[in-house]
A = this chain, B = another copy of it.
Protein backbone atom coordinates (compact mmCIF):
# COMPACT_ATOMS: atom_id res chain seq x y z
CA UNK A 1 0.00 0.00 0.00
CA UNK A 2 1.07 3.55 -0.80
CA UNK A 3 0.32 4.44 2.81
CA UNK A 4 3.67 2.96 3.84
CA UNK A 5 5.74 5.51 1.95
CA UNK A 6 3.50 8.31 3.16
CA UNK A 7 5.27 11.17 4.93
CA UNK A 8 3.92 13.18 7.87
CA UNK A 9 1.79 16.01 6.48
CA UNK A 10 2.94 18.75 8.86
CA UNK A 11 6.62 17.96 8.18
CA UNK A 12 6.07 18.15 4.43
CA UNK A 13 4.12 21.40 4.82
CA UNK A 14 6.99 22.94 6.77
CA UNK A 15 9.60 21.72 4.29
CA UNK A 16 7.62 23.24 1.44
CA UNK A 17 7.17 26.51 3.30
CA UNK A 18 10.96 26.84 3.50
CA UNK A 19 11.24 26.56 -0.27
CA UNK A 20 8.44 29.01 -1.10
CA UNK A 21 9.83 32.35 -2.21
CA UNK A 22 9.24 35.30 -4.52
CA UNK A 23 10.81 35.04 -7.97
CA UNK A 24 11.87 38.25 -9.68
CA UNK A 25 10.39 38.91 -13.09
CA UNK A 26 13.94 38.92 -14.49
CA UNK A 27 14.63 35.44 -13.16
CA UNK A 28 11.34 34.33 -14.65
CA UNK A 29 12.09 35.60 -18.13
CA UNK A 30 15.71 34.48 -17.88
CA UNK A 31 14.37 30.94 -17.62
CA UNK A 32 11.55 31.55 -20.10
CA UNK A 33 13.54 33.52 -22.63
CA UNK A 34 11.63 31.92 -25.54
CA UNK A 35 8.55 33.83 -24.35
CA UNK A 36 10.41 37.00 -25.30
CA UNK A 37 11.54 35.80 -28.74
CA UNK A 38 14.98 34.52 -27.76
CA UNK A 39 14.37 30.84 -28.46
CA UNK A 40 17.15 30.49 -31.02
CA UNK A 41 20.29 32.43 -32.04
CA UNK A 42 18.84 33.70 -35.34
CA UNK A 43 15.71 35.02 -33.66
CA UNK A 44 17.67 36.42 -30.73
CA UNK A 45 19.58 38.69 -33.11
CA UNK A 46 16.58 39.92 -35.07
CA UNK A 47 14.49 40.34 -31.91
CA UNK A 48 17.18 42.56 -30.45
CA UNK A 49 17.25 44.75 -33.56
CA UNK A 50 13.45 44.85 -33.50
CA UNK A 51 13.19 46.01 -29.90
CA UNK A 52 15.82 48.71 -30.34
CA UNK A 53 14.42 50.05 -33.62
CA UNK A 54 10.85 50.06 -32.26
CA UNK A 55 11.98 52.10 -29.27
CA UNK A 56 13.81 54.56 -31.49
CA UNK A 57 10.74 55.10 -33.66
CA UNK A 58 8.49 55.56 -30.63
CA UNK A 59 10.89 58.12 -29.20
CA UNK A 60 11.10 60.06 -32.48
CA UNK A 61 7.30 60.03 -32.72
CA UNK A 62 7.05 61.65 -29.28
CA UNK A 63 9.21 64.46 -30.64
CA UNK A 64 7.43 64.61 -34.01
CA UNK A 65 10.82 64.51 -35.75
CA UNK A 66 11.55 62.66 -38.99
CA UNK A 67 13.44 59.59 -37.70
CA UNK A 68 16.95 58.69 -38.79
CA UNK A 69 17.78 55.25 -37.48
CA UNK A 70 21.16 53.62 -38.06
CA UNK A 71 21.38 49.90 -37.35
CA UNK A 72 24.72 48.13 -37.38
CA UNK A 73 25.57 44.49 -36.76
CA UNK A 74 29.21 43.47 -36.17
CA UNK A 75 30.47 39.94 -35.59
CA UNK A 76 32.68 39.76 -32.49
CA UNK A 77 33.31 36.02 -32.29
CA UNK A 78 31.94 32.61 -33.12
CA UNK A 79 28.14 33.05 -32.87
CA UNK A 80 28.73 36.39 -31.18
CA UNK A 81 27.52 39.72 -32.51
CA UNK A 82 27.10 43.26 -31.29
CA UNK A 83 23.95 45.13 -32.32
CA UNK A 84 24.24 48.93 -32.46
CA UNK A 85 21.18 51.10 -33.01
CA UNK A 86 21.41 54.90 -33.06
CA UNK A 87 18.54 57.38 -33.41
CA UNK A 88 17.94 61.14 -33.54
CA UNK A 89 15.17 61.00 -30.93
CA UNK A 90 14.78 63.17 -27.83
CA UNK A 91 17.22 61.09 -25.80
CA UNK A 92 16.68 59.88 -22.24
CA UNK A 93 17.27 61.89 -19.06
CA UNK A 94 20.32 60.63 -17.17
CA UNK A 95 18.65 59.20 -14.07
CA UNK A 96 16.20 57.12 -16.14
CA UNK A 97 18.72 55.46 -18.46
CA UNK A 98 19.52 52.56 -16.08
CA UNK A 99 15.84 51.88 -15.39
CA UNK A 100 14.77 52.00 -19.03
CA UNK A 101 17.45 49.54 -20.16
CA UNK A 102 18.12 47.33 -17.16
CA UNK A 103 14.75 46.75 -15.53
CA UNK A 104 11.95 44.56 -16.88
CA UNK A 105 8.40 45.88 -16.82
CA UNK A 106 9.70 49.44 -16.59
CA UNK A 107 8.56 52.03 -19.11
CA UNK A 108 6.28 54.90 -20.02
CA UNK A 109 3.91 53.03 -22.30
CA UNK A 110 2.29 50.32 -20.21
CA UNK A 111 -0.55 52.21 -18.58
CA UNK A 112 -0.91 54.79 -21.33
CA UNK A 113 -4.09 54.49 -23.43
CA UNK A 114 -2.13 55.46 -26.52
CA UNK A 115 -0.90 53.76 -29.67
CA UNK A 116 2.80 52.97 -29.53
CA UNK A 117 5.14 50.23 -30.75
CA UNK A 118 6.30 49.24 -27.31
CA UNK A 119 3.65 48.67 -24.69
CA UNK A 120 5.05 46.41 -22.00
CA UNK A 121 8.35 47.89 -20.88
CA UNK A 122 9.96 44.52 -21.41
CA UNK A 123 11.51 44.42 -24.88
CA UNK A 124 14.77 46.37 -24.62
CA UNK A 125 15.60 45.18 -21.10
CA UNK A 126 14.96 41.64 -22.30
CA UNK A 127 17.60 42.10 -25.02
CA UNK A 128 20.02 43.45 -22.39
CA UNK A 129 19.19 40.45 -20.20
CA UNK A 130 19.80 38.00 -23.04
CA UNK A 131 23.08 39.65 -24.00
CA UNK A 132 24.21 39.47 -20.38
CA UNK A 133 23.12 35.83 -20.11
CA UNK A 134 24.93 34.69 -23.25
CA UNK A 135 28.05 36.87 -23.26
CA UNK A 136 28.31 38.26 -19.73
CA UNK A 137 28.87 41.69 -21.33
CA UNK A 138 27.02 44.81 -20.18
CA UNK A 139 24.82 46.88 -22.51
CA UNK A 140 26.37 50.20 -23.55
CA UNK A 141 24.08 53.22 -23.82
CA UNK A 142 24.89 56.75 -24.98
CA UNK A 143 22.14 59.35 -24.78
CA UNK A 144 21.82 63.12 -25.07
CA UNK A 145 18.70 65.25 -24.63
CA UNK A 146 20.01 68.43 -26.28
CA UNK A 147 23.17 70.31 -27.31
CA UNK A 148 23.24 72.24 -24.01
CA UNK A 149 23.50 68.97 -22.05
CA UNK A 150 26.46 66.60 -22.25
CA UNK A 151 25.97 63.09 -23.63
CA UNK A 152 25.81 60.40 -20.93
CA UNK A 153 27.40 56.99 -21.33
CA UNK A 154 26.37 53.97 -19.29
CA UNK A 155 27.42 50.33 -19.12
CA UNK A 156 24.62 48.31 -17.52
CA UNK A 157 23.99 44.84 -16.16
CA UNK A 158 20.69 43.62 -14.72
CA UNK A 159 20.68 42.29 -11.17
CA UNK A 160 18.26 39.52 -12.03
CA UNK A 161 17.55 38.50 -8.43
CA UNK A 162 16.17 42.00 -7.77
CA UNK A 163 15.23 43.04 -11.32
CA UNK A 164 17.30 46.18 -10.79
CA UNK A 165 20.00 47.93 -12.82
CA UNK A 166 23.65 47.30 -11.92
CA UNK A 167 25.76 50.24 -13.14
CA UNK A 168 29.14 49.06 -14.46
CA UNK A 169 30.21 52.41 -15.93
CA UNK A 170 28.71 55.91 -15.88
CA UNK A 171 30.41 58.94 -17.47
CA UNK A 172 29.96 62.01 -19.64
CA UNK A 173 31.24 61.65 -23.19
CA UNK A 174 31.82 63.74 -26.32
CA UNK A 175 29.15 63.04 -28.96
CA UNK A 176 30.19 65.05 -31.97
CA UNK A 177 27.53 66.37 -34.35
CA UNK A 178 24.71 64.67 -32.41
CA UNK A 179 22.42 67.31 -30.89
CA UNK A 180 20.12 64.71 -29.32
CA UNK A 181 19.44 61.00 -29.59
CA UNK A 182 20.20 57.61 -28.15
CA UNK A 183 22.69 54.91 -29.13
CA UNK A 184 22.50 51.37 -27.74
CA UNK A 185 25.07 48.59 -28.07
CA UNK A 186 24.22 45.05 -27.04
CA UNK A 187 26.56 42.09 -27.50
CA UNK A 188 24.86 38.72 -27.63
CA UNK A 189 25.08 35.14 -28.80
CA UNK A 190 23.32 35.03 -32.13
CA UNK A 191 23.34 33.91 -35.72
CA UNK A 192 23.08 36.26 -38.68
CA UNK A 193 20.81 35.13 -41.50
CA UNK A 194 19.29 36.70 -44.57
CA UNK A 195 15.80 35.88 -45.84
CA UNK A 196 12.21 36.24 -44.69
CA UNK A 197 13.02 35.97 -40.98
CA UNK A 198 16.20 38.04 -41.09
CA UNK A 199 17.07 41.56 -40.02
CA UNK A 200 17.25 42.97 -43.56
CA UNK A 201 13.70 41.86 -44.32
CA UNK A 202 12.58 43.30 -40.99
CA UNK A 203 13.99 46.72 -41.79
CA UNK A 204 12.54 46.58 -45.30
CA UNK A 205 9.10 46.02 -43.79
CA UNK A 206 9.67 48.76 -41.21
CA UNK A 207 10.29 51.12 -44.14
CA UNK A 208 6.96 50.07 -45.71
CA UNK A 209 4.96 50.84 -42.56
CA UNK A 210 7.00 53.92 -41.63
CA UNK A 211 7.75 55.70 -44.93
CA UNK A 212 8.68 58.91 -43.08
CA UNK A 213 11.71 57.12 -41.62
CA UNK A 214 15.24 56.98 -42.99
CA UNK A 215 16.74 53.61 -42.18
CA UNK A 216 20.43 52.81 -42.62
CA UNK A 217 21.61 49.23 -42.16
CA UNK A 218 25.23 48.12 -42.02
CA UNK A 219 25.56 44.34 -42.00
CA UNK A 220 28.30 42.08 -40.61
CA UNK A 221 30.02 41.93 -44.00
CA UNK A 222 30.10 45.73 -44.08
CA UNK A 223 27.31 45.82 -46.65
CA UNK A 224 25.20 48.98 -46.44
CA UNK A 225 21.47 49.24 -47.21
CA UNK A 226 19.65 52.58 -47.08
CA UNK A 227 15.86 52.94 -47.09
CA UNK A 228 15.20 56.59 -48.00
CA UNK A 229 11.98 58.16 -46.70
CA UNK A 230 9.15 58.42 -49.23
CA UNK A 231 6.99 60.56 -46.92
CA UNK A 232 8.16 64.05 -45.94
CA UNK A 233 5.91 64.43 -42.89
CA UNK A 234 5.78 62.44 -39.67
CA UNK A 235 2.31 60.96 -39.15
CA UNK A 236 0.09 62.96 -36.77
CA UNK A 237 0.94 61.99 -33.20
CA UNK A 238 -1.73 59.70 -31.69
CA UNK A 239 -3.52 61.14 -28.65
CA UNK A 240 -3.97 59.51 -25.26
CA UNK A 241 -7.51 58.51 -24.31
CA UNK A 242 -9.24 57.48 -21.12
CA UNK A 243 -10.74 54.00 -20.78
CA UNK A 244 -14.20 53.45 -22.24
CA UNK A 245 -16.98 52.27 -19.88
CA UNK A 246 -17.69 49.23 -22.06
CA UNK A 247 -14.13 47.97 -21.48
CA UNK A 248 -14.24 47.99 -17.69
CA UNK A 249 -14.37 44.82 -15.56
CA UNK A 250 -16.30 44.60 -12.30
CA UNK A 251 -13.19 44.05 -10.20
CA UNK A 252 -11.43 46.99 -11.81
CA UNK A 253 -14.50 49.21 -11.34
CA UNK A 254 -14.58 48.32 -7.65
CA UNK A 255 -10.91 49.23 -7.29
CA UNK A 256 -11.27 52.50 -9.20
CA UNK A 257 -14.24 53.51 -7.07
CA UNK A 258 -12.20 52.80 -3.93
CA UNK A 259 -9.22 54.83 -5.14
CA UNK A 260 -10.92 57.74 -6.93
CA UNK A 261 -10.64 61.32 -5.67
CA UNK A 262 -14.01 62.11 -7.26
CA UNK A 263 -16.68 63.05 -4.71
CA UNK A 264 -19.68 61.73 -6.65
CA UNK A 265 -20.38 58.81 -8.98
CA UNK A 266 -21.21 61.42 -11.65
CA UNK A 267 -17.82 63.09 -11.25
CA UNK A 268 -16.07 59.71 -11.11
CA UNK A 269 -17.37 58.63 -14.51
CA UNK A 270 -17.02 61.99 -16.30
CA UNK A 271 -13.41 62.45 -15.15
CA UNK A 272 -12.03 58.89 -15.36
CA UNK A 273 -13.74 57.57 -18.50
CA UNK A 274 -14.13 58.66 -22.07
CA UNK A 275 -17.64 59.21 -23.54
CA UNK A 276 -19.21 59.18 -20.06
CA UNK A 277 -21.28 62.35 -20.46
CA UNK A 278 -23.51 63.52 -17.57
CA UNK A 279 -26.47 62.25 -19.61
CA UNK A 280 -24.90 58.80 -19.87
CA UNK A 281 -24.05 58.70 -16.16
CA UNK A 282 -27.63 59.74 -15.37
CA UNK A 283 -28.98 56.73 -17.30
CA UNK A 284 -26.48 54.37 -15.68
CA UNK A 285 -27.42 55.65 -12.22
CA UNK A 286 -31.15 55.25 -12.94
CA UNK A 287 -30.79 51.71 -14.23
CA UNK A 288 -28.58 50.85 -11.23
CA UNK A 289 -31.08 52.53 -8.91
CA UNK A 290 -28.48 54.68 -7.20
CA UNK A 291 -28.01 58.44 -7.06
CA UNK A 292 -25.50 60.01 -9.44
CA UNK A 293 -24.41 62.07 -6.42
CA UNK A 294 -23.67 59.04 -4.24
CA UNK A 295 -20.17 58.98 -2.74
CA UNK A 296 -18.05 56.36 -4.58
CA UNK A 297 -16.43 55.20 -1.32
CA UNK A 298 -19.79 54.45 0.26
CA UNK A 299 -21.19 52.13 -2.41
CA UNK A 300 -21.98 48.54 -1.40
CA UNK A 301 -20.79 45.60 -3.50
CA UNK A 302 -24.33 45.01 -4.81
CA UNK A 303 -24.61 48.66 -5.86
CA UNK A 304 -21.32 48.55 -7.77
CA UNK A 305 -22.43 45.28 -9.33
CA UNK A 306 -25.67 47.03 -10.37
CA UNK A 307 -23.70 49.92 -11.89
CA UNK A 308 -21.51 47.44 -13.72
CA UNK A 309 -24.52 45.69 -15.24
CA UNK A 310 -26.19 49.03 -15.99
CA UNK A 311 -23.21 50.22 -18.05
CA UNK A 312 -23.78 47.41 -20.55
CA UNK A 313 -27.45 48.40 -20.95
CA UNK A 314 -26.80 52.08 -21.68
CA UNK A 315 -25.97 53.23 -25.20
CA UNK A 316 -22.56 54.93 -25.04
CA UNK A 317 -20.77 56.59 -27.96
CA UNK A 318 -17.79 54.62 -29.27
CA UNK A 319 -14.40 55.76 -27.92
CA UNK A 320 -12.62 58.65 -29.67
CA UNK A 321 -10.32 57.48 -32.44
CA UNK A 322 -7.73 60.26 -32.64
CA UNK A 323 -5.72 57.90 -30.43
CA UNK A 324 -5.13 55.78 -33.52
CA UNK A 325 -2.55 56.37 -36.22
CA UNK A 326 -3.11 54.20 -39.30
CA UNK A 327 -0.57 54.14 -42.12
CA UNK A 328 -3.12 55.40 -44.66
CA UNK A 329 -4.41 53.93 -47.93
CA UNK A 330 -2.40 56.12 -50.31
CA UNK A 331 0.85 55.94 -48.31
CA UNK A 332 0.52 52.16 -48.03
CA UNK A 333 0.20 51.76 -51.80
CA UNK A 334 3.08 54.16 -52.46
CA UNK A 335 5.25 52.27 -49.99
CA UNK A 336 4.43 48.97 -51.71
CA UNK A 337 5.12 50.41 -55.17
CA UNK A 338 8.44 51.54 -53.76
CA UNK A 339 9.66 48.01 -53.18
CA UNK A 340 7.53 45.76 -55.39
CA UNK A 341 7.04 45.68 -59.15
CA UNK A 342 3.47 44.51 -59.68
CA UNK A 343 0.64 45.12 -62.20
CA UNK A 344 -2.07 46.01 -59.72
CA UNK A 345 -2.19 47.68 -56.31
CA UNK A 346 -5.11 48.35 -53.94
CA UNK A 347 -5.52 49.22 -50.28
CA UNK A 348 -8.13 50.05 -47.67
CA UNK A 349 -8.22 51.65 -44.23
CA UNK A 350 -11.26 50.55 -42.23
CA UNK A 351 -12.92 53.01 -39.90
CA UNK A 352 -12.02 52.31 -36.26
CA UNK A 353 -13.76 49.55 -34.29
CA UNK A 354 -13.73 48.49 -30.64
CA UNK A 355 -12.84 45.32 -28.69
CA UNK A 356 -13.29 45.21 -24.90
CA UNK A 357 -13.77 48.99 -25.03
CA UNK A 358 -10.39 49.41 -26.71
CA UNK A 359 -10.37 51.19 -30.10
CA UNK A 360 -8.50 49.59 -32.98
CA UNK A 361 -8.28 50.03 -36.73
CA UNK A 362 -7.42 47.59 -39.51
CA UNK A 363 -5.78 48.30 -42.86
CA UNK A 364 -5.07 46.00 -45.77
CA UNK A 365 -3.19 46.40 -49.04
CA UNK A 366 -2.58 44.09 -51.96
CA UNK A 367 -0.13 43.92 -54.86
CA UNK A 368 -0.74 41.55 -57.79
CA UNK A 369 1.20 40.29 -60.80
CA UNK A 370 4.40 41.77 -62.20
CA UNK A 371 7.55 40.13 -60.88
CA UNK A 372 5.77 38.30 -58.08
CA UNK A 373 6.11 34.50 -58.12
CA UNK A 374 3.15 32.78 -59.84
CA UNK A 375 3.07 29.38 -58.15
CA UNK A 376 3.85 29.94 -54.47
CA UNK A 377 1.56 30.82 -51.59
CA UNK A 378 0.90 34.54 -51.46
CA UNK A 379 3.27 36.58 -49.28
CA UNK A 380 1.51 37.89 -46.17
CA UNK A 381 3.12 40.86 -44.41
CA UNK A 382 1.66 41.54 -40.96
CA UNK A 383 1.97 44.79 -39.02
CA UNK A 384 0.86 45.75 -35.50
CA UNK A 385 1.15 49.45 -34.66
CA UNK A 386 3.46 49.77 -37.67
CA UNK A 387 5.77 47.03 -36.36
CA UNK A 388 6.39 44.08 -38.72
CA UNK A 389 5.45 40.68 -37.30
CA UNK A 390 7.87 38.14 -38.75
CA UNK A 391 7.28 35.11 -36.56
CA UNK A 392 4.45 32.81 -35.40
CA UNK A 393 2.54 33.40 -38.61
CA UNK A 394 0.32 30.36 -38.14
CA UNK A 395 -0.66 31.36 -34.60
CA UNK A 396 -1.78 34.84 -35.70
CA UNK A 397 -5.40 35.97 -35.96
CA UNK A 398 -4.48 37.86 -39.15
CA UNK A 399 -3.29 34.67 -40.88
CA UNK A 400 -6.42 32.89 -39.73
CA UNK A 401 -8.54 35.67 -41.23
CA UNK A 402 -6.67 35.47 -44.55
CA UNK A 403 -7.13 31.69 -44.69
CA UNK A 404 -10.78 32.11 -43.71
CA UNK A 405 -11.44 34.45 -46.66
CA UNK A 406 -12.56 32.71 -49.88
CA UNK A 407 -10.06 34.11 -52.37
CA UNK A 408 -11.48 32.04 -55.22
CA UNK A 409 -14.19 34.72 -55.43
CA UNK A 410 -11.42 37.17 -56.24
CA UNK A 411 -9.68 35.03 -58.84
CA UNK A 412 -6.97 33.36 -56.71
CA UNK A 413 -6.35 29.64 -56.24
CA UNK A 414 -6.88 28.44 -52.67
CA UNK A 415 -7.07 24.96 -51.16
CA UNK A 416 -9.00 24.26 -47.97
CA UNK A 417 -7.62 25.87 -44.78
CA UNK A 418 -4.53 27.20 -46.56
CA UNK A 419 -3.27 30.56 -47.76
CA UNK A 420 -4.23 31.35 -51.37
CA UNK A 421 -1.60 30.93 -54.07
CA UNK A 422 -0.66 33.43 -56.77
CA UNK A 423 1.56 36.44 -57.53
CA UNK A 424 0.36 38.44 -54.52
CA UNK A 425 1.80 40.42 -51.65
CA UNK A 426 -0.85 41.02 -49.00
CA UNK A 427 -0.37 43.53 -46.19
CA UNK A 428 -2.49 43.61 -43.04
CA UNK A 429 -2.04 46.25 -40.34
CA UNK A 430 -3.77 46.57 -36.99
CA UNK A 431 -3.39 49.83 -35.09
CA UNK A 432 -4.62 49.93 -31.50
CA UNK A 433 -4.17 51.54 -28.12
CA UNK A 434 -3.57 48.03 -26.80
CA UNK A 435 -2.73 45.27 -29.27
CA UNK A 436 -3.54 41.87 -27.75
CA UNK A 437 -0.53 39.68 -28.55
CA UNK A 438 -0.41 35.95 -27.96
CA UNK A 439 2.90 36.24 -26.10
CA UNK A 440 5.36 38.79 -24.68
CA UNK A 441 7.46 38.38 -27.81
CA UNK A 442 4.62 40.19 -29.60
CA UNK A 443 4.75 38.01 -32.70
CA UNK A 444 1.09 37.11 -33.23
CA UNK A 445 -2.32 38.70 -32.59
CA UNK A 446 -4.72 36.96 -30.21
CA UNK A 447 -7.99 35.71 -31.74
CA UNK A 448 -10.45 38.32 -30.54
CA UNK A 449 -13.63 37.91 -32.65
CA UNK A 450 -14.01 41.69 -33.14
CA UNK A 451 -10.49 41.86 -34.56
CA UNK A 452 -10.92 38.79 -36.77
CA UNK A 453 -14.10 40.36 -38.14
CA UNK A 454 -12.49 43.69 -39.03
CA UNK A 455 -9.50 42.01 -40.68
CA UNK A 456 -11.83 39.87 -42.80
CA UNK A 457 -13.84 42.92 -43.88
CA UNK A 458 -10.64 44.72 -44.86
CA UNK A 459 -9.48 41.67 -46.82
CA UNK A 460 -12.82 41.43 -48.62
CA UNK A 461 -12.54 45.09 -49.65
CA UNK A 462 -9.11 44.71 -51.28
CA UNK A 463 -10.22 41.28 -52.49
CA UNK A 464 -13.17 42.77 -54.38
CA UNK A 465 -10.87 45.36 -55.98
CA UNK A 466 -8.54 42.57 -57.05
CA UNK A 467 -11.50 40.56 -58.37
CA UNK A 468 -12.65 43.42 -60.58
CA UNK A 469 -9.17 43.85 -61.96
CA UNK A 470 -8.84 40.13 -62.59
CA UNK A 471 -12.15 39.87 -64.44
CA UNK A 472 -11.24 42.93 -66.52
CA UNK A 473 -7.85 41.53 -67.54
CA UNK A 474 -9.33 38.09 -68.19
CA UNK A 475 -11.95 39.59 -70.53
CA UNK A 476 -9.26 41.68 -72.23
CA UNK A 477 -7.05 38.68 -72.77
CA UNK A 478 -9.89 36.69 -74.33
CA UNK A 479 -10.79 39.53 -76.72
CA UNK A 480 -7.12 40.06 -77.50
CA UNK A 481 -6.87 36.40 -78.50
CA UNK A 482 -9.94 36.63 -80.72
CA UNK A 483 -8.61 39.81 -82.30
CA UNK A 484 -5.19 38.38 -83.07
CA UNK A 485 -6.88 35.27 -84.45
CA UNK A 486 -8.93 37.47 -86.79
CA UNK A 487 -5.78 39.43 -87.66
CA UNK A 488 -4.11 36.21 -88.67
CA UNK A 489 -6.83 35.50 -91.23
CA UNK A 490 -6.73 39.03 -92.72
CA UNK A 491 -4.36 38.09 -95.59
CA UNK A 492 -6.54 35.19 -96.81
CA UNK A 493 -9.72 37.21 -96.32
CA UNK A 494 -8.11 40.09 -98.17
CA UNK A 495 -7.06 38.02 -101.17
CA UNK A 496 -10.49 36.43 -101.58
CA UNK A 497 -12.15 39.84 -101.25
CA UNK A 498 -9.62 41.18 -103.77
CA UNK A 499 -10.53 38.52 -106.31
CA UNK A 500 -14.22 39.37 -105.82
CA UNK A 501 -14.01 43.15 -105.72
CA UNK A 502 -11.05 43.48 -108.07
CA UNK A 503 -9.61 45.91 -105.46
CA UNK A 504 -5.92 45.73 -104.59
CA UNK A 505 -5.26 43.15 -101.86
CA UNK A 506 -2.90 45.39 -99.88
CA UNK A 507 -5.44 48.25 -99.66
CA UNK A 508 -8.05 45.83 -98.35
CA UNK A 509 -5.60 44.43 -95.80
CA UNK A 510 -4.75 47.91 -94.58
CA UNK A 511 -8.47 48.71 -94.34
CA UNK A 512 -9.19 45.60 -92.31
CA UNK A 513 -6.23 46.22 -90.01
CA UNK A 514 -7.24 49.88 -89.48
CA UNK A 515 -10.79 48.75 -88.79
CA UNK A 516 -9.60 46.21 -86.20
CA UNK A 517 -7.40 48.80 -84.45
CA UNK A 518 -10.32 51.26 -84.44
CA UNK A 519 -12.74 48.78 -82.87
CA UNK A 520 -10.36 47.41 -80.26
CA UNK A 521 -7.74 50.10 -79.66
CA UNK A 522 -7.03 49.01 -76.08
CA UNK A 523 -6.54 45.43 -77.08
CA UNK A 524 -4.11 46.04 -79.90
CA UNK A 525 -2.25 48.57 -77.79
CA UNK A 526 -0.02 47.72 -74.82
CA UNK A 527 -1.56 46.21 -71.68
CA UNK A 528 -1.94 49.06 -69.16
CA UNK A 529 -0.37 49.07 -65.68
CA UNK A 530 -3.64 49.36 -63.75
Contact = CB atoms under 8 A, between A and B. Distances in A.
B135 A250 contact: yes
| Chain A interface size range | 35 or more
A172 B108 CA distance: 44
Contacts of A103: 22
A284 B451 CA distance: 55
A134 B253 CA distance: 10
Contacts of A14: 93, 145
A121 interface: yes
A11 to B, nearest CB: 8
B110 A23 contact: yes
A9 B108 contact: no
A461 interface: no
A212 B253 CA distance: 44
B251 A133 contact: yes
A6 interface: yes
Nearest to A164: B22
A487 interface: no
Given A19-B112, A23-B120, 13 more contacts: A1-B233, A2-B212, A10-B149, A14-B93, A17-B95, A20-B106, A23-B111, A28-B110, A32-B120, A134-B250, A136-B304, A189-B250, A394-B394
Interface string A271-305: 00000000000000000000000000000010011
A371 interface: no
B92 A16 contact: yes
Contacts of A66: 2-3
A1 B439 contact: no
A449 B10 CA distance: 42
A133 B251 CA distance: 4
A34 interface: yes
Interface string A507-530: 000000000000000000000000
Contacts of A89: 9
A39 interface: yes
Contacts of A6: 63-65
Interface in A118-161: 120-121, 132-136, 145-146, 148-149, 160
A103 B22 CA distance: 8
A117 interface: no
B249 A23 contact: no
Given A31-B434, A62-B12, A146-B9, A23 B106 contact: yes
B19 A108 contact: yes
Contacts of A120: 23, 28, 32
Given A10-B146, A20-B99, A436 B34 contact: yes
Contacts of A28: 105, 110, 120
A7 interface: yes
A180 B10 contact: yes
A179 interface: yes
Nearest to A253: B136
A493 interface: no
B22 A106 contact: yes
Given A10-B149, A252-B133, A304-B136, A234 B5 contact: yes
A262 interface: no
B105 A34 contact: no
A344 to B, nearest CB: 30
A238 interface: no
Nearest to A110: B23
A354 interface: no
Task: Give the top 4 A-B pairs by smallest Cβ distance, nearest first.
Answer: A9-B180, A19-B108, A12-B90, A133-B251
A245 B64 CA distance: 50
Nearest to A131: B251
Contacts of A305: 136
A314 interface: no
A21 interface: yes
Interface string A29-60: 00110110001000000000000000000010
Interface string A223-254: 00000000011100000000000000111111
A25 B105 contact: yes
Contact of A25 (B25, B39, B96): B25
A27 interface: yes
B34 A110 contact: no
B35 A145 contact: no
Contacts of A135: 250-251
A389 to B, nearest CB: 15
A190 interface: no
A23 B105 contact: yes
A200 interface: no
A169 interface: no
A492 to B, nearest CB: 52
Nearest to A107: B20
Given A2-B65, A304-B136, A395-B395, A107 B23 contact: yes
Given A13-B92, A145-B13, A439-B35, A250 B136 contact: yes
